[in-house]
Structure 1
Amino acid sequence: MRITVRVAAVQAEPSWLRLSDGVEQVVELIETAATRGARLIAFPEAFLPGYPWWRWIDTNQWNVEYSTRCRENSMTRDGAEMRAITETAAAHGIHVVLGFGERQDRRIYLSQAVIDDSGELLSVRRKAGLNSVERKIFASGTPNLPAVHHTPIGKYGALSGQENQRPLLTRALRADEEQIHVAAWPASPEGDVPGPDSSATVCRMYALEVGAYVLAPTAVVGEAAWGGMPRPRTTGPTGRARIYGADGSEVVTSLDEGAQGILYADLDIGAATADPPCESPRATRKDRTPATARRNARRAATGWQSGPDRWALPMTIRAYPGGTAAC
């Protein structure tokens, strides 16, 4: 069955290291998107309290101070700040994917929360694969496979940053026939970019590999991100959210780079459910069963776990015959 779903990808500057202001900003953005008819809104990685770009500045005393502020302004998954966000989602009937710094005791995790339109916190996933700078601030999460959430607006999942180019994670989402994918990015100051427009390249490849729409929210990094210290390199405006179709093309014109706002698109979900364009070279004759049988087998194997961390797939997916990172 084909359905049309309006989605929203945030392109905005966070309220750097000010948690209460950041929660108000998130609530306002959710309300704005819902008013425009969006059923799903996606936020950048670590939007609360802002991705720690200041860690690229090699000033130890200053980094200690801001690391402390980062911990103090991160939120818990069950605190008043998260309740305010889930209540807003419920009040406006909108799904929310939010990147945030999650505080637990003295540790901080790079986490991603998925909230449904009734305000239920479906999952909180802690990023496990951290880069060298992230490891100086954040603790590594458990390397579980990500979830695909089966909802009335379609089957959607989410990953953060460089996770979007890890075959083990992307294959897990493809195995459960993901239709909408949130690839959350923290923006791309020159100090962290592995190549020109690398996040856009990753998103296009993801769309082609998985055959899903891709929402790529990103933060805008202004002077406030550096806390008054000089940037490590001279850069122009940063942050450009995009929304891609399953063929890797942009389905809507993006906002100007560095502008703040919300990018909207109406997605034809039925158009993103085609079988993958090619089979894995590892597939055997025994594996080449009808698509319906494969889908039923995968659904039967889906194992939801109870508790605050829920995953839609068991840890082993070797019975799935479809797709590799490059077809």
Structure 2
Amino acid sequence: MRRTVRVAAIQAEPKWLRLSEGAEQVVELIGNAAAAGARLIAFPETFLPGFPWWRWVDSNQWNAEYSTRCRENSMTRDGAEMRRITAAARDHGVHVVLGFGERQDRRIYMAQAVIDENGDIVSIRRKAGLNSIERKVFASGTPNLPAVQHGVIGKVGALSGQENQRPLLTRALRADEEQIHIAAWPGHPEGDAPGPDSAPTVSRMYALEAHAYVVAPCAVVGSAAWDRRGPQTTRRTGQARIYGSSGTDIVTPLTAGVEGILYADLEVGAVAPDRREVDLAPRHRARRGQQAAARTAPARRLGTDRWAVPLIRGTSSDGMTAC
């Protein structure tokens, strides 16, 4: 049975390092998208409290100050801000995929929450494969395979930033016949230069390889990101995209750097014939690999995370096999 699902990709500038204002912004955007008929609303990577582009500025004093502010303005998974956001999802009856900095004790993680139409947090994943800049601010999460969420709007999966290029993670989602994929991006002060690692290229390739819709929300990065310090630029960058399984835009993107919400109506239903023919063998191989990993590697439940299956074998101090 096929159904039409309206999705929304957020293209907006975060309320940099201001958690309370950022939570209000998220609630407002959820309401606006729901009023336009969206049933799935996707936010950029680390939208709360904003991706730390200030790490590119070579000033140890500034970086120390902003790292402290980033930690203080990051959100806990059971805090008042998260409760407001889940209440908004419940009140509007929409699904939300939110990228946020998750604070636990003195550490911050790059987290991605999936919230269902009842306001329940279905899963929270902490990004494990951090780049050199991200590691200066965030702690690495527990390596675990992502899971596709099966719901009334279809089979939905989500990854953040460079995770969309990691074969082991993408194959895990493809093995479960993902239909809608959220590829969340933080934007970039210089925009997306053409190349194999740019957000549009990665998102397109994912759509082609997975034969799935790709909803790619993206943060707008402007002068406000620098808080009147560091490089001053009047150029605003960041462009959300929504791709079909052919890797082409389903709808015309918004102008880069202009805040707004990009909508598309997706026809979600049975797996397409071309996907069955092209992806059948890889899917079976990936599934067999997951079953083998489950037999040989222990797993444990991490709060609202799904079961964590190690990517690389090794033994930690608590006896858990992990990277």
User: 105-114 or 191-200, which moves further after superposition?
Assistant: 191-200
Identical-pair percentage: 69
Deviations 1:213-258 (A, max 9, x none): 00000000010101112328x6832100000001111000110000
Question: Aligned letter for 2:90?
Answer: A
Which structure 2 residues correspond to residues 130-279 of structure 1 after superposition, within 5 A?
Answer: 130-190=130-190, 195=195, 198-231=198-231, 236-270=235-269, 273-274=272-273, 275-278=275-278
> What is aligned with 2:45?
45
Q: Give SS of 1:259's match.
A: coil
1:33–1:135 CA distance, 2 compared to 1 (3 A): same
Structure 1 residue 10 corresponds to structure 2 residue 10: yes
Which ranges of structure 2 fall in alignment gaps of 5 or more residues?
312-323
Q: Give SS of 1:96's match.
A: strand
Q: CA RMSD in A?
A: 2.8
Q: Give SS of 2:269's match.
A: helix
Q: Give SS of 1:278's match.
A: helix
> What is aligned with 2:74?
74
Q: Give SS of 1:122's match.
A: strand
Q: Give SS of 2:207's match.
A: helix
Judge conservation of contact 2:121–2:304 (CA < 8 Å) in 1.
no
1:245–1:91 CA distance, 2 compared to 1 (3 A): same
Deviations 1:259-283 (A, max 9, x none): 0010000000127644355258889
1:272–1:251 CA distance, 2 compared to 1 (3 A): farther
> What is aligned with 2:305?
310
Q: Distance in 1 between matches of 2:219 and 2:186?
A: 5
Question: Aligned letter for 1:115?
Answer: I
> What is aligned with 1:110?
110
User: 272-281 or 61-70, which moves further after superposition?
Assistant: 272-281
Deviations 1:109-163 (A, max 9, x none): 0000000000000011000000001000000001100110000000001000000
Judge conservation of contact 1:172–1:313 (CA < 8 Å) in 2.
no
1:248–1:272 CA distance, 2 compared to 1 (3 A): farther
Q: Distance in 1 between matches of 2:265 and 2:214?
A: 12
Judge conservation of contact 1:183–1:214 (CA < 8 Å) in 2.
yes
Question: Aligned letter for 1:260?
Answer: E
Q: Distance in 1 between matches of 2:302 and 2:142?
A: 14
Question: Aligned letter for 1:58?
Answer: D
> What is aligned with 1:291?
none
1:67–1:45 CA distance, 2 compared to 1 (3 A): same
Question: Aligned letter for 1:100?
Answer: F
Deviation at 1:70, TM superposition (A): 0.2
Judge conservation of contact 1:54–1:227 (CA < 8 Å) in 2.
no
1:99–1:193 CA distance, 2 compared to 1 (3 A): farther
Judge conservation of contact 2:143–2:308 (CA < 8 Å) in 1.
no
Q: Give SS of 2:125's match.
A: strand
1:247–1:159 CA distance, 2 compared to 1 (3 A): same
Q: Give SS of 2:278's match.
A: coil
Judge conservation of contact 2:177–2:271 (CA < 8 Å) in 1.
no
TM-score normalised according to structure 2 size: 0.87
Q: Distance in 2 between matches of 1:314 and 1:106?
A: 25
Question: Aligned letter for 1:114?
Answer: V
Deviation at 1:198, TM superposition (A): 1.1
1:130–1:191 CA distance, 2 compared to 1 (3 A): farther
Q: Distance in 2 between matches of 1:309 and 1:104?
A: 14
Judge conservation of contact 1:187–1:220 (CA < 8 Å) in 2.
yes
TM-score normalised according to structure 1 size: 0.85
Q: Distance in 2 between matches of 1:223 and 1:12?
A: 13
Q: Distance in 2 between matches of 1:263 and 1:309?
A: 29
Question: Aligned letter for 2:221?
Answer: V
> What is aligned with 1:321?
none
Question: Aligned letter for 2:214?
Answer: V
Q: Distance in 2 between matches of 1:26 and 1:206?
A: 27
Deviation at 1:195, TM superposition (A): 3.6
1:5–1:313 CA distance, 2 compared to 1 (3 A): farther
Equivalent pairs, count: 303
